[in-house]
Amino acid sequence: MTMNIRRVLRTIAISGLWVALFSMTVEAKTKVTSESFGKMPDGTPVEIFTLSDGPYEARVATYGGIVVSLRVPDRNGKPADVVLGFDNVDGYLANFNGPADAFFGALIGRYANRIAHGSFTLDGRKYSLPLNNGENSLHGGPHGFNNVVWKAKPIANGVELSYLSKDGEAGYPGNLSAVVRYTLMKGDLRIEYSAATDKDTVVNLTNHSYFNLAGKGDILDHRLTLHASRFTPVDVGLIPTGELKSVASTPFDFRKATAVGARIHADDEQLHRGRGYDHNWVLDTDSGGGKLGEAAELYDPSSGRVLKVLTDQPGIQFYSGNFLDGSIKGKGGKPYELHSALCLETQHFPDSPNHPDFPTTELKPSQRYHTVTVYSFSVR
């Protein structure tokens, strides 16, 4: 192991120790268990961790750091699984490596969302990434963080996943040591991302869960609120143009709770390009300095379930499941049809390495990447 890799691991270990010591002061109430979830083609075992706290349950796999299922109660106390996915690791392997990769529930890295033409320049050097979305690189490319087996250990109220992405992996510079902690307490699924590098690099991590608060049907009647007065318009390749456009008087105005399907078929160029909503919103919340702010609220009138998204990130990608077409068979063999779920991916902006005016995604060896997102469930 090189000295640089040791330095990265030491940095992340020290931060992890602090969190572990802090967690010891918090009474752990969530039951954490693990079992086999299958094997990789090379025989590597995959585990799944179950986090149980009363009527709430989250299951997280070591392959891809996937949120496989998330059971939450409705207004009558009846629980249902509110995320899309598969019954075993084979389903994810087939989907993640196929032409219709949907990234169900996975951890995304090194860079969430799109990088134009699969290239960026950092410190005067151009880096080229594998293409997997037309002429662009999407969600870290075909061999991103969703396609690796993470090391795992139980922690108070959850599970900690770790992965060392070596210098040059998927075209990115630097040995990047990533740690992601999932915890579940009283309806709050908290995801804490940390990373350290030994070379200047770019990082943008998120989770790609698909939510349907009814647990069935489509999400067009879900009421969505986005605390954002601007969004980033895209070109025909879904790459941001660089403009931060006002949502006022557009179908992108979700500052007041609005049904997802109310304007999804409007005659709007941006909706045509995304085949629906597949855009980054610029959050209004003052989330600087690691402060959590409310980014979004999703409400399903039929079940009464409410999902609030809190984050310290500057953006959120709202994707309305536009490329689901029934060809993918999920849990129990259920086909995932158009708009059968939506994603709310907290993030820095797409293609930021190629937009100097966007919030930077650069990470230097002297810095520590750290961000938190909470998916908070309740009923109404």
Report whether 284 contacts 227 (CB < 8 A). yes
* Span 263-308, pLDDT tens digits: 999 999 999 999 999 999 999 986 556 789 999 999 999 999 999 9
Residue 135, exposed/middle/buried by CB under 10 A (0-12, 13-18, 19+)? exposed
pLDDT at 291 (0 to 100): 87
Residue 366, exposed/middle/buried by CB under 10 A (0-12, 13-18, 19+)? exposed
Structure tokens at 219: 């999400």
CATH number assigned to the domain covering 3-379 = 2.70.98.10
Domain range list for the chain: 3-379
pLDDT at 26 (0 to 100): 46
pTM attached to this predicted model:
0.92
Q: List b or e across 30-63, with b for residues whose CB sees 16 or more CB atoms inside 10 angstroms.
A: bebebeebbeeeeeeebbbbbbbbeebbbbbbbb
Q: List b or e across 91-118, with b for residues whose CB sees 16 or more CB atoms inside 10 angstroms.
A: bbbebbeeeebbbbbbbbbbbbbbbbbb
Query: Any idea which residue has 């390495």 for tokens?
Result: 353
* Span 149-165, pLDDT tens digits: 999 999 999 999 999 99
pLDDT at 95 (0 to 100): 87
Residues (pLDDT < 50) of the chain are 12-26
pLDDT at 25 (0 to 100): 38
186 vs 75: CA distance, rounded Å: 15
Strand, helix or coil for residue 253: coil
pLDDT at 263 (0 to 100): 98
CB neighbours of residue 176 within 10 Å: 27
pLDDT at 98 (0 to 100): 59
C-alpha dihedral sign at 195, 370, 296, 185: positive
Strand, helix or coil for residue 110: coil
Q: Which of 311, 88, 85, 100 is nearest to 209 (CA)?
A: 85
335 vs 329: CA distance, rounded Å: 4
Catalytic residues, by residue number, are 208, 345
pLDDT at 112 (0 to 100): 97
